[in-house]
Amino acid sequence: MTWIGQEHGWIGAPEEIVTALSKDGFEECKREMTTSRRDLRPAGGLWQGVNPRNGSVASAIWVTRPAWHQAIVFIDIDGKSFKGDDGHPAVGRDPYNEEGGGG
């Protein structure tokens, strides 16, 4: 996955991103796909997961474009947008075990 600053999101395959979040301890609790295009490919989707170890919640919302093979994915962890290359925390950061964390 690659951060695209102009889009304020990640470009990548949604399954890749969901797999990365799952490997970081998030267990799926919701997944939805929307189909509204003529080619019947999903126009977008939503995935949510909870990390039972620390109670963190992750969400990934994606939008596909007909001419693109990958989607634009917006990732949110505990209500904060997960961004790239600008000092924001990486997926897998445990806010409850680091300085300034909640627990």
Domain boundaries, the chain: 2-77
Q: Which neighbouring-strand residues pair with 82?
A: none
Closest of 51, 52, 30, 34 to residue 42, by C-alpha = 34
5-31 confidence digits (pLDDT tens): 888 888 888 889 999 999 999 999 999
Task: Identify the segments of the chain with pLDDT beneath 70.
Answer: 36-41, 84-103
| pLDDT computed for residue 29 by the predictor | 95
**Number of DSSP helices (H) and strands (E) in the chain, helices first:** 1, 7
| pLDDT computed for residue 88 by the predictor | 42
| pLDDT computed for residue 98 by the predictor | 41
CA distances, 72 to each of 52, 63, 64, 96, 103 (Å): 27, 5, 6, 29, 33
Closest of 53, 36, 54, 52 to residue 44, by C-alpha = 36
| pLDDT computed for residue 53 by the predictor | 95
CA distance 51 to 21: 9
| pLDDT computed for residue 92 by the predictor | 42
